[in-house]
Amino acid sequence: MSNITKKGFKVLSPFGNVTTGKIYFVDTNNAEAADGGTGAATPDWGTEPDKPFKTLDHAIGQCTANKGDVIYVMPGHAETLSTTGKLIPDVAGVSIIGLGHGSARPTFSISTTGSHAHAVGITGAATRIENMIFRAADQTGSSGVGIFVNAADVTITGCRFDHSSTLTYFVNTIEVSAGIDRANICNNKFVNFGTTDQAQRAVDLRSTGSTQIETQIINNYFSGNWSRAVIIGSSVSSFNELRIADNVINSSSTIAGDIPIDLDSTQVTRNMGVIARNRITAGSSAAKAAGLQHGCCLLIDNTYMLSTGVLGNQGGIDT
């Protein structure tokens, strides 16, 4: 495997990704992996699969903003992120792509404590994170966060979010900060089988007093027990072109206040976005009664069903 440069474009064979930027590799399992002068570093260190960097954070630090740099994280790579801000993708326009399939994908075990603690905080605009596993190893605190999105045009796709046991969980799995535009959370799998009142939110659109523009939550699979909401945006001042579409939400909660999708029901103009073609289940009629708070969005062709097989309103979702 090598990088081929031709007329200014780099092609990584055999993956076929084309970029005008640099390509780096990360693999903690490689015996020769080194970061920042540790080990036998050479000028081309990190640019070949057999000379990878040891940590993703170090690789990010080698990138140049908005040059199309790509970081490939090798199959089987594993890191433990045990402090707030341990991994900060802070360079704009970088793509971070995990290699491998299933459990062989790169795995980041997250362990944080304290209110609003987050080990992964994205501050680089147009960051792309793809094909990773993020695992809650030990997270405590009333509002701990798995990934904190604090930059525009961030894409998180093809990732799995889960936990190492029923006693560990992400309180809030992904949180999009106030006023952050064009966040794309697509094609991911969120799994939480903890007990009631552990995990609170899978996706939190936290935008008090601000407008979020073109947020997209599309084609994700959510399965588990969230004690507040699976997708929530109840404190948002307003949305512009919000789209929540084609998701499967399997909520096992039986508590009436545990709402699968909870948007601000006081926003009744219904011109801020669309909730379409979602397939949602609830654990009981109590949870179904709360169903969905959706005052700011139009509903199109959603299906809501109890775990007992009782069908809700197919044109929308009962409120």
Q: CATH number for the domain including 265?
A: 2.160.20
Query: What pLDDT, on a 0 to 100 scale, did the predictor assign at position 285?
Result: 55
Query: What pLDDT, on a 0 to 100 scale, did the predictor assign at position 87?
Result: 85
User: Average pLDDT by consecutive 10-residue portion of the chain (319 residues)?
Assistant: 47 58 90 56 78 91 95 94 80 97 93 67 95 82 77 97 76 88 96 70 78 92 86 74 92 76 62 84 58 67 69 46
Residue 274 resides in a domain = yes
Query: What pLDDT, on a 0 to 100 scale, did the predictor assign at position 95?
Result: 97
Query: What pLDDT, on a 0 to 100 scale, did the predictor assign at position 36?
Result: 52
Residue 270 resides in a domain = yes
Q: Among candidates 153, 147, 146, 218, which has minimal Cα distance to 183?
A: 153
Domain of residue 158, residue span: 72-306
Q: Could you identify the residue written with the tokens 């399997």?
A: 250
Q: How far is CA 199 from CA 7, 31, 283, 291, in A?
A: 50, 37, 16, 18
DSSP letter for each residue of 235-249: TBSEEESEEEES-EE
**d(Cα 220, Cα 246) in Å, to the nearest integer?**
7
Residue 136 resides in a domain = yes
Residue 318 resides in a domain = no
Tokens read off for 280: 């949602």
Look up the pTM and report it.
Answer: 0.86
Q: How many domains does the chain have?
A: 1
Residue 157 resides in a domain = yes
Residue 138 resides in a domain = yes
HSE at residue 274, side-chain half, CA atoms within 13 A, is 10
Contact 117, 147 (CB under 8 A): no
Residue 172 resides in a domain = yes
Q: Could you identify the residue written with the tokens 């089987």?
A: 76
Residue 205 resides in a domain = yes
**d(Cα 100, Cα 178) in Å, to the nearest integer?**
34
